[in-house]
Amino acid sequence: MRDEEEAFKKLNHSFHPSSLIPHPYTPVAAILLAAGRSRRMGAFKPLLPFPGKRTVVEACINNLSSGGVETIVVVLGYQAEEMRRRLSHHNVLFAVNPDAESEMGASIARGVEQLPLDVKTILIALSDQPAIPPEVIRFLINERGREGSRLIVPEYLGRGGHPVLVDHSFRPELLQLDARRGLRALFDAHRDEVLRVPVASPYVARDMDTWDDYRALHEEMFGIEPPRTQAN
């Protein structure tokens, strides 16, 4: 715990030890976006190995769950049936965006439609960020409880990332996000309510768009190159 506190202190001058103590700002749910086709990757990102028998999307689910998220809605699109099959042993809900080519806002809306009505805090997470540690997710949730901010963006060395946290009162706006600007439009419209929270992990601001991105992250995390997989 001492090392964890020191890491956050270095990046967050407003750190308080109570940030690491659970706060009753619950229930908490996550929308995990996994509907796209992964064209630039050349393979379907969510089902890439990470590591061994686990996949990228399973690593994301495990990190969210271990970080204190009670409900996870996985938004499917491309290869939806295969994703359902591969995730059948996980305690998750599913939403479907039938247009895998649509903008992120459409997938967010489909995810919001499946959220339980009693959810107070909504995390919006990306399925190509499998290295965000549970401690960071827990820290962000607890900062939400401690500060009471309605919109939270994690940042690493000044660069914003995911998962973002959104208060449940924004449900109507999440259902009607600007098709082109998505979440950016929501956060810009409520700029005065946004809390940017420095965190100790670079992975909040790092995703995987290409095979080189995936290979570099896999080597960094596990010390070996990932196995080649068939194109999507």
Strands 194-198, 151-156: pairing is: parallel
Average pLDDT over residues 177-192: 89
Type of residue numbered 180: R
Task: Give the residue with greater pLDDT, 221 vs 37.
Answer: 221
State the Cα–Cα distance between residues 113 and 120, nearest whole angstrom: 14
Helix locations, the chain, DSSP H: 2-11, 56-66, 80-86, 104-113, 134-147, 171-174, 183-189, 211-222
Q: Nearest to residue 71, comparing CAs of 123, 19, 22?
A: 123
Strands 71-76, 28-34: pairing is: parallel
How many CB atoms are closer than 10 A to CB 17? 10
State the Cα–Cα distance between residues 136 and 107, nearest whole angstrom: 24
* 99: region left, alpha or beta (phi > 0 left; psi from -120 to 50 alpha): beta
pLDDT value of residue 228:
75
Q: What is the pLDDT of residues 101-135, one digit of tens each?
A: 888 899 999 999 999 999 999 999 999 999 999 99
Judging by beta carbons within 10 Å of its beta carbon (0-12, 13-18, 19+), is residue 191 exposed, middle or buried?
exposed
* CA triple 21-24-25, angle to 5 deg: 110
pLDDT > 50? residue 14: no
pLDDT value of residue 145:
81
Q: Is the peptide bond before 24 cis (omega within 30 degrees of 0)?
A: no
Tokens 């960071």 belong to which residue? 136
| Lookup: tokens for 95 | 């939403």
Average pLDDT over residues 22-43: 81
Q: Would you place residue 230 in the very low, low, confident or very high pLDDT band (cuts 50, 70, 90)?
A: low
What rounded mean pLDDT belongs to the chain? 87
Q: What is the pLDDT of residues 35-54, one digit of tens each?
A: 988 777 878 999 999 986 69
pLDDT > 50? residue 16: no
Q: What is the pLDDT of residues 140-184, one digit of tens each?
A: 999 988 878 999 999 999 999 999 999 999 999 999 998 778 899
- Domains of the chain listed by start with CATH number: 2-222 (3.90.550.10)
pLDDT value of residue 42:
77
* 68: region left, alpha or beta (phi > 0 left; psi from -120 to 50 alpha): left
